[in-house]
Structure 1
């Protein structure tokens, strides 16, 4: 983390004093170094610590970086079986720091970046994976109507809408012909399953490094980074998370491909699917090949957009270029997941 120029902001000091009972107006912000698209800061107010999460300044797409949606969702999940930070205050006045922001509790704990969990003893790794699956199932079991989130997205036809959206996004940002991606899109369009009316709150980016664990424990302390959350098909979340078992073991996005899961003490994909279905008391998914292929396609489309923004000078160019190099391999993995 590093110091940030938002320090010494009188408007922010006044707002914090009026919205946080433990803050007398004196504060210190340090930006978290990890690359969230919604910048996040450790907020120190005396002996209390919070997290400030803001919408980036400047011109943005109307639906992008909606931190008010994040705040609303986290607040709605308070007291549920889904561990989340405590939502404390939302500021919709751009005049305070230049963009909308919210304050939530600071949750101290462990974040793991490598799905092989090298810092965890072999005999304990299964418990971490089981905990992640149970937490995801708990999210999908939330009654979103009871939680007041019935208008948080559009229930039904999730994959049809998402396939159309990301196909258009990919084609708009394409910089070369990637045959594997075109073939994957064609297969997905030809094999789109009938809508089965499954709908739940979905995280949209559920992966190991978006979860905070209690220190030296497999118990989840808080699920983080809800920027892509919406109402959608729960299998989109499950397949996206389980992509980690099929991604290469080296590179920008690290996975477990080619590793001996048994020797690592990590459950196989089929076991994790069964565990999820047991937790939700549902049948095993009938269209798993589609869900997995779609997950690879969606990630490839997202990274193609990152690559194009890098070429246009709107993203960190070196990292964007490296991300762009993953589009073709991801499309190939998507094709390989089709049996």
Structure 2
């Protein structure tokens, strides 16, 4: 595993920051250990705490780790209603030999699998869901033309392309995984999605990976989102794809807490004080004025996307490219998710 010195030339970074922020005596760089995609480095610059985002070392896909795209959207949102970190600067290459950008490090906490002690009462628990929905609504109501993101994506045909893209990912992974086990339900799910793509969906800025562990909550109470993180999948497209993704990772009290879901999603939202998935959708409609139609489609698409990622994880495990326990779990996890998607299609998992 790479450490900070493998990911940054400290001397070059110090010069880069000094030119923009002024010189300091205290300077340190530490690699953030969590995350599966872009690298995150915590930088102490005098009395300032900064974050550097850069691609992982080695070969990367053209768009999968496009940190400058991430910088562009975060920078465009600086003066609006969407909470994002303050941007400092970006560079295409020369300093680290790869693109990167620098932003402020926000004070607060990310909730991955554990509830924060300060949010352990009914009002705070309800407030977490309200903050998540209200912030998502703020993202989806950004005037993307006005903030300079009019060419940030191609929203026409976005939803159909999502189905095609994840179908192609399954096809790639199945070349490796079908010798171990098959998942015949996937073809049925993909066909159902292709036949049920909503006509003329709305076009907004979308985050692409909006869920609890991609926001940071400010210190204190009541819950307040200090910043939305991890914008590398953002584009212009169908906002209900974001909502469906959030719902997939939001467990309800009646959900079966399988080992798989407890590995991927926080189980604390099953407490009766939290908003249910249905209540999240109701609040989204209130905040945006949008009636959420075709909710089964967007929920199935979210499961399909996660299952495709899981099948790619399992393929990489079989190839010997990863010994991550989660990757190995996908041998049974993807069939479980496929069954989940079929149950949504058949109406057995209503909101």
Task: Give the TM-score taking structure 1 as reference length.
Answer: 0.90
- Helix, strand or coil for the counterpart of 1:252? helix
Aligned match of 1:97: 96
Structure 1 CA distance for aligned equivalents of residues 265 and 90 of structure 2: 34
Aligned match of 1:10: 11
Structure 2 CA distance for aligned equivalents of residues 183 and 119 of structure 1: 45
Contact 2:129 2:275 in 1 (8 A): yes
Kindly tell me: are residues 43 and 199 of structure 1, through their superposed partners in 2, closer, same or farther at Cα, counting changes over 3 Å? same
Which of 196, 203, 208 aligns to 2:207? It is 203
Aligned match of 2:189: 184
Which of 218, 227, 231 aligns to 1:214? It is 218
Structure 2 CA distance for aligned equivalents of residues 148 and 28 of structure 1: 34
- Helix, strand or coil for the counterpart of 1:149? coil
Structure 2 CA distance for aligned equivalents of residues 319 and 281 of structure 1: 39
Structure 2 CA distance for aligned equivalents of residues 20 and 313 of structure 1: 44
Kindly tell me: are residues 13 and 116 of structure 1, through their superposed partners in 2, closer, same or farther at Cα, counting changes over 3 Å? closer
Aligned match of 1:337: 344
Aligned match of 2:228: 223
Aligned-pair Cα RMSD in Å: 2.2
Aligned match of 1:298: 305
Structure 1 CA distance for aligned equivalents of residues 343 and 248 of structure 2: 12
- What do the CA deviations read for 1:201-237 (whole angstroms, capped 9, x no partner)? 1111111011101113311100011111111100000
- Helix, strand or coil for the counterpart of 2:248? helix
Kindly tell me: are residues 81 and 91 of structure 1, through their superposed partners in 2, closer, same or farther at Cα, counting changes over 3 Å? same
Structure 1: which 5+ runs fail to align?
none
Q: Hey, which bits of structure 1, 4+ residues long, moved more than 4 A?
A: 115-119
145-154 vs 172-181, greater mean Cα deviation:
172-181
Residue correspondence of structure 1 range 304-315 to structure 2 within 5 A? 304-315=311-322
Equivalent residue pairs, number:
331
- What do the CA deviations read for 1:116-173 (whole angstroms, capped 9, x no partner)? 7676323120011001100000000001111110111111222111101110111111
Aligned match of 1:79: 79
Structure 2 CA distance for aligned equivalents of residues 209 and 272 of structure 1: 17
Contact 1:169 1:301 in 2 (8 A): yes
Residue correspondence of structure 1 range 137-152 to structure 2 within 5 A? 137-152=137-152
Contact 2:50 2:104 in 1 (8 A): yes
Contact 1:115 1:254 in 2 (8 A): no
Contact 1:14 1:25 in 2 (8 A): no
Q: Does 1:265 align with 2:265?
A: no
Structure 2 CA distance for aligned equivalents of residues 115 and 181 of structure 1: 32
Q: Does 1:111 align with 2:119?
A: no
306-315 vs 233-242, greater mean Cα deviation:
306-315
- What do the CA deviations read for 1:45-92 (whole angstroms, capped 9, x no partner)? 122210011112211111220000000000000011100001110011
Structure 2 CA distance for aligned equivalents of residues 305 and 153 of structure 1: 25
Measured after TM superposition, the shift of residue 327 of structure 1 is: 1.4
Aligned match of 2:282: 274
Structure 2 CA distance for aligned equivalents of residues 110 and 157 of structure 1: 37
174-183 vs 98-107, greater mean Cα deviation:
174-183
Contact 2:25 2:46 in 1 (8 A): no
Aligned match of 2:33: 33
Q: Does 1:285 align with 2:292?
A: yes
Structure 2 CA distance for aligned equivalents of residues 248 and 323 of structure 1: 17
Structure 1 CA distance for aligned equivalents of residues 104 and 183 of structure 2: 44
168-177 vs 8-17, greater mean Cα deviation:
8-17
Structure 2: which 5+ runs fail to align?
none
23-32 vs 205-214, greater mean Cα deviation:
23-32
Contact 1:142 1:200 in 2 (8 A): yes
175-184 vs 72-81, greater mean Cα deviation:
175-184
Kindly tell me: are residues 119 and 320 of structure 1, through their superposed partners in 2, closer, same or farther at Cα, counting changes over 3 Å? farther
